[in-house]
Amino acid sequence: MKNIYAIGVGLIGGSLAIDIKKNNPDVVIHGISRKDATLETALSLSLIDKKATLDDLGNADLVIVSIPVDATVKLLPTILDKISDKGLVVDAGSTKVDICKVVENHSKRRNFLAMHPIAGTEHSGPTAAIKGLFVGKTNIVCEVEKTTFKLQEKALKLFSDIGMRIRYMNPADHDKHIAYVSHLSHISAFMLGKTVIEKGKNERDIFDMAGSGFASTVRLAKSSPEMWAPIFKQNRTNVIETLEEYISNLTKFKELMKDENFEAIFDEMKSTNHIKDILNGIN
Amino acid sequence: MKNIYAIGVGLIGGSLAIDIKKNNPDVVIHGISRKDATLETALSLSLIDKKATLDDLGNADLVIVSIPVDATVKLLPTILDKISDKGLVVDAGSTKVDICKVVENHSKRRNFLAMHPIAGTEHSGPTAAIKGLFVGKTNIVCEVEKTTFKLQEKALKLFSDIGMRIRYMNPADHDKHIAYVSHLSHISAFMLGKTVIEKGKNERDIFDMAGSGFASTVRLAKSSPEMWAPIFKQNRTNVIETLEEYISNLTKFKELMKDENFEAIFDEMKSTNHIKDILNGIN
């Protein structure tokens, strides 16, 4: 593997480039982005070795697509059109159904591997890229059987080498489950932020009182809308379902408050406390 | 100040004891708790120097009450009954209206200072006590004018010395504002945890997919129900108001999803993004 093309050189694409380059110093990382300024930043941070365009993809051993999921759906067929028979394309999108669907009948489907490396921060862009982001994290691989075995093997080694554990899942299950543990968390944080900001408009004291608990719970509300609006759009049905369940649980809690049933409120919290065990090992 | 009595030697009481002892090595920290096992743990961790009981409080220069807020309301008049004229009692409760109210006509009201040091973690008990917990954090002081000036001064120096900045507020404003930035965050996290746990019961894969974003958003769901049920009870009206606004914002978001109005969803997120600036400096 000599020539890797990173389409998107932000938090995910940039962080992948750092770790892959560290493990494979001879590899040349070519960066592709809509904006030249982004590429210049990525170059200056040494995330990439060279700037490139989509027309160079024939030269690629590996193409890593880490752009908003709506852009991935639009661009993926063109990317596959342009790569050689030995080239592999992987994506890092937070949704998998629409992305897999758009290439299901593509003549180069076997040159594509659908992935979701579950790692990140609330920051975005090339300056958000950090080394070691993927160590100990999970990489969900979808429809692995649809990818040429040799290309699968190559990609899985690359991602294992940067510290990821691989899990296999079909796209529908991926999108359904990730709605709960990732997409809902983002909406919960965004709406918590909104609620407090609305109240705080005329009451600056509120923010003086914000402690580490609030900061942690609302952290994801700093995330990029450019990245997240398309995710919610593609995973609309699942996200609506999680929102309905979340709102229903909050409403029940509110009703218990109104009824002054604090024993039941105690029990609600007690029975959720074992989230401790579930979270063990996640940081 | 020689003899400090810590009623409650958990996360808050224990952490205060550590930092106060460090700044004032000659002080003797006496621990009081319902459970002897808790005091033994606090002794073995050197959070306290000695075990004591409420009957010893006549000897106290300072009493720090860091127990669940329902217990504080019950116990506070008795504590004030027992202290000497030169003794000061402070509490660290997350609610202030009920606590101030229960002592408003007490003959020793001027020996009491109502506080809320806004610091903590999701852990509890003496083993959760850590040094430096209060550095750079805010300590809300309520009804400062009702406390003898010399005793105020003594307490404020002690808390400034452990790194806290002091803010003054009336109890009603405290309880209203803290409902937004602290109490709502806890409910939001508990119900997020509940929603995911309910879904995960039959689908273990969900937890395999949980990343750092989920861990951060749900962190407060590890908090102690013994501590939090009484807080919600005392701050019931304010908490219900914040919940109604939060549920309304989530419901609007869900309706936008149903209407496929992703431009508006983008705007919702974009306009909340400046939570970044608000959170700056909070960790």
Amino acid at A110: R
Per CATH, domain B3-169 is 3.40.190.10: no
Interchain contact, A249 vs B120, CB within 8 Å: no
Residue A29 has pLDDT above 60, yes or no: yes
Chain B residue with minimum CA distance to A230: B262
pLDDT at B202: 66
pLDDT over threshold 60, residue A283: no
Q: How far apart are CA B179 and CA B193, in angstroms?
A: 20
Q: Do B203 and A177 touch (CB under 8 A)?
A: yes
Chain B positions in Cβ-Cβ contact with residue A185 (cut-off 8 Å): 192, 213-214, 217-218
Determine, for residues B229 and A262 on separate chains, whether the beta-carbon distance falls below 8 Å.
yes
The percentage of chain A sitting over the pLDDT mark of 70, rounded to a whole number, equals: 98
Distances in whole angstroms, Cα of residue B141 to Cα of each of A45, A164, B90, B155, B170: 47, 48, 10, 10, 8
Q: Of B69, B5, B60, which Cα lies nearest the Cα of B33?
A: B5
> C-alpha A83: how far from its chain's center?
24
Q: Which residue of A has its CA nearest to B222?
A: A273
- Closest CB from B122, B244, B269 relative to A190: B269
SS3 B24: coil
Distance from CA of B9 to the nearest CA of A (A): 21
Transcribe B149-176 into DSSP letters. Answer: HHHHHHHHHHHHHTTPEEEEE-HHHHHH
Q: Answer for the pair A37, A27: CB distance below 8 angstroms, yes or no.
A: no
Q: Which residues in A lie closer than 8 A to residue B204 (C-beta atoms)?
A: none
CATH 3.40.50.720 location in chain B: 3-169
Residue-level pLDDT at A281: 59
The predicted-structure confidence for B21-58, as pLDDT tens digits, reads as follows 999 999 999 999 999 999 999 999 999 999 999 999 99
Cα dihedral B171, B174, B180, B182 sign: negative
Q: Which of B124, B191, B219 to mutate to test the interface with A (most CBs of A within 10 A)?
A: B191
pLDDT for B278 equals 74
Question: Quick check: A214 and B182 CB within 8 A?
Answer: yes
Least-confidence region, from A180-194, A227-241, B202-216: B202-216
- Class of the B174-279 domain? mainly alpha
Question: CB–CB of B194 and A262 under 8 A?
Answer: no
CA A71/CA A195 separation, integer angstroms:
31
Q: Which residue of B has its CA nearest to A259?
A: B236
Q: Which residue of B has its CA nearest to A252?
A: B191
Which of B181, B235, B273 is most worth mutating to test chain A (most A CB atoms within 10 A of its CB)? B181
Which residue in chain A is spatially nearest to B233 when comparing CA positions? A262
Q: What pLDDT is stored for residue B281 in this prediction?
A: 59
Q: Where in chain A is the domain with CATH 1.10.3660.10?
A: 174-279
A262: closest chain B residue by CA = B229
B242 vs A184, A195, A207: nearest CB: A195
Inter-chain touch A217–B216, beta carbons under 8 Å: yes
A205: pLDDT strictly greater than 80: no
- Which one of A195, A207, A256 would you mutate to disrupt binding with B, by most B Cβ within 10 Å of its Cβ? A195
Average pLDDT along chain B, 283 residues, taken 10 residues at a time: 96 97 97 97 97 98 98 98 98 98 98 96 93 95 97 95 95 96 96 92 76 91 95 98 98 98 97 82 57
Residue numbers in B near A222 (CB within 8 A): 273, 275-276, 279
First to last CA, chain A: 32
For residues B17 and B41, is the Cβ–Cβ distance under 8 A?
Answer: no
The pLDDT value given to residue B282: 60
Virtual torsion, Cα B124, B216, A138, A223, nearest 10 deg:
-170
> Which of A55-69, A87-101, B58-72, B212-226 comes out lowest in average pLDDT?
B212-226
- Residue B210's SS3 state is coil
The residue with tokens 């009481």 is B13
Distance CA B29, CA B17 (A): 7
CA dist., res. B170 & res. B3, Å (int): 29
